[in-house]
Amino acid sequence: MTDDTISRRELAEQSRLLAEQTDRHAVALESILAILRSPRLDDRAARAMATDIAAATLVELRTANDEQTSTLFEPVVGAFARLRSDLRPLVRFGDLDVQFVEPPATGRALPGDVAFAARAIVRSAVLALVDEGESRRVRIQWDCDGLNLLIGIRDDGTGQLSVHDDSLRPIAERVSSLGGDLDVSATAGWGSTMAVRLPLDPPAMPEPLADNDAFSQREREVLRLVASGARNRAIADQLTISPNTVKFHVSNILRKAGVSTRAELAILATANARRP
């Protein structure tokens, strides 16, 4: 195994852990807000429960790196149970009725990155529905066909959801990074259905960027800032160009690099910079 391969895996793991912590923060904050807003609790009880949630989440976040790094495979039922645990406070005290359909107990164990991505996808979808405020019920189902983890998420909202919606962009990027598929179907007035397929044997990461000559000087500048984690507005301000121009450059860079997301691009750019 080469040093480049190890470096790429380390970078991917760091990115995964950061995304996991971000999702856990979001779910914890939404859960605390749901508790504080709940008409079923008086002020004293709400404060006590919110404090308990915050304290428990803090402990989980402090130990998250050790737990996730050591988890190479998870039984599908165990991964689903962790998802239910993550969402339990939000489900209990929020306005969204979440129904869980258990996966088969005989399903193949999930690689750690697939289990993480599956939970992140569902959490992102639920948080998007909470923010939208139009849905009252959502049904979450996992299944496994031996080669893929199949995720189904159905809501009873306005039925206007599209695969191109900004709220689904983080989900689409996660699915794409694992070589999976995302399909969204909607019927006006009846709700939307999100179908996700995640291969249990994800594709190997692409090789680092090998030829910077493929990029123009401006594209190299944009690439450097993307790799640092800067968003389009910050890049535009620093380079004194418009956000639309930044989007144009990022699109060209993604195409030339042969990747589909900014996260993959940042990992490859950083790995390339570390090469001797």
Mean pLDDT calculated for residue range 225-246: 87
Residue range 155-168, pLDDT digits in tens: 998 888 888 888 88
177: pLDDT strictly greater than 80: no
Give me the pLDDT at residue 18, please: 63
181-216 per-position pLDDT tens digit: 999 998 888 899 999 999 988 555 555 554 567 788
Q: Is residue 69 pLDDT above 50, yes or no?
A: no
pTM for the full model?
A: 0.56
Sketch out the chain's domains with CATH numbers: 3-199 (3.30.565.10), 212-274 (1.10.10.10)
As a whole number, mean pLDDT of residues 265-276 equals 60
pLDDT digits (tens, 9 = 90+) for 74-121: 899 989 998 998 888 777 777 788 999 999 888 788 888 788 889 989
Q: Does the pLDDT at position 11 exceed 70?
A: no
Instruction: Please give the C-alpha separations between residue 96 and each of 117, 156, 157, 158, in angstroms, as whole numbers.
Output: 22, 10, 11, 14
In this predicted structure, what is the pLDDT of residue 6?
42
The C-alpha atoms of residue 30 and residue 131 are separated, in whole angstroms, by 10
Q: Which pLDDT band, with edges at 50, 70 and 90, does 5 fall under? A: very low
pLDDT at 41: 80
Is a pLDDT exceeding 50 seen at residue 24? yes
Residue 227 has pLDDT above 90, yes or no: no
Percent of the chain with pLDDT over 70: 77
61 — pLDDT class (breaks 50, 70, 90): low
Share of the chain above pLDDT 90, in %: 16
Distance of CA 22 to the CA centre of its chain: 9
Note the pLDDT of residue 81. 92
Residue 99: per-residue pLDDT = 93
**235 has pLDDT over 80:** yes
